[in-house]
Amino acid sequence: MKEIWDLAISPPMLPLTILLVPVALFWLLSIIGAVDHDLFAVDMDGHDGSPHHDHPVFEWIHGSLRILNAREIPVMIVLSVLIIFLWGCAMLGNLWFNPAGTGWRGGLVSVGALFTAVVFTRFAVSPLKPLFRLVQDDPETGPPVVGRTGTVRTAFVTEREGQVEVDHRGAPLLLHARTAEGSPPLSRGTAILVIHHDSESGIHIVRAL
């Protein structure tokens, strides 16, 4: 146990070990209900068209998270799995290939661990996709949802992405939503009306109420 601890706080591993702290705090706060669960409701289908999200950094983040299957799975779950795999792969890599704990070799191990963690994460979270489809898209909420009102839950709902929350049978229902072609984006908290449902894609077309 002491050997594992010593390796975890060694110079090549310390930054990755520190990354585990916010992950652990997030899930601890989530368990006790102190985290806003809107953080889980992230739709990665595209861009919202706002200048903020057109920034190259956000373009890169969106592309990276799509590679990790975050398009259909909550981002915090994917990032947590990625960080855990990254830490575990780096631990094994330093144990096997960098027993002396040198910085340059530790850097190479970290790069290799990142690529390995990305592959492992993609395969690990793939089985969760059907589960989250069931959670977000109730098969009994097709046409009956048309005409109901709700609110925008993601940062924006645009022609390409977004999610809204609609009251259905006394319980909130999270739906993938888009605005009609040519309509302006709707920001978080905007009251909306569901005006159409595409049964093939499961997408709901909404407009401001």
DSSP string, 131-152: HHHHHH--TT-SGGGTT-EEEE
**Residue 94 shares a structural domain with residue 6:** yes
Q: Which tokens go with 33?
A: 């209900």
Are 157 and 186 spatial neighbours (Cβ–Cβ below 8 Å)? Answer: yes
Residues 192 and 112 in one domain: no
Both 162 and 119 in one domain: the answer is no
Q: Which pLDDT band holds residue 93 (cuts at 50, 70, 90)?
A: very high
Q: CA-to-CA distance for 167 and 174, rounded, in angstroms?
A: 9
Whether residues 23 and 119 fall in one domain: yes
Structural domain ending residue among the three candidates 101, 132, 163: 132
d(CA 88, CA 113): 8
Using only C-alpha atoms, what is the Rg of the chain? 21
Last residue of a domain, one of 97, 132, 167: 132
Q: How far apart are CA 169 and CA 191, in angstroms?
A: 19
Domain closes at, from 81, 102, 132: 132
- In terms of domains, do 169 and 128 share one? no
CA 39 – CA 26 distance, rounded (Å): 11
Angle between helices 14-31 and 75-97 (to 10 degrees): 150
Q: Tell me: the pLDDT tens digits for 21-68?
A: 998 988 888 777 655 544 454 444 444 444 444 445 455 555 666 677
Question: What residues contact residue 144 under an 8 Å CB cut-off, 6+ apart?
Answer: 168
What is the tally of structural domains in the chain?
A: 2
Q: How far apart are CA 163 and CA 154, in angstroms?
A: 6
Residues 38 and 103 reside in one and the same domain: yes
Q: Do 8 and 84 share a domain, yes or no? A: yes
The per-residue pLDDT for 141 is: 44
Query: Are 72 and 149 members of one domain?
Result: no
Joined together, the tokens standing for residue 101 give 């704990």
164 with 190, same domain: the answer is yes
Residue-wise pLDDT for 104-154, tens only, equals: 888 899 999 999 998 898 888 878 776 666 555 544 444 467 888 889 988
> Residue 169's pLDDT band (boundaries 50, 70, 90)?
low
For 184, phi then psi, to 5°, come to -70, 155
By the 10 Å C-beta count (0-12 exposed, 13-18 middle, 19+ buried), 209 is classed as exposed
8 Å CB contact between 23 and 81? no
- Residue ranges making up the domain that contains 168: 137-208
Tell me, yes or no, whether 179 and 114 share the same domain. no
Share of the chain above pLDDT 70, in %: 72
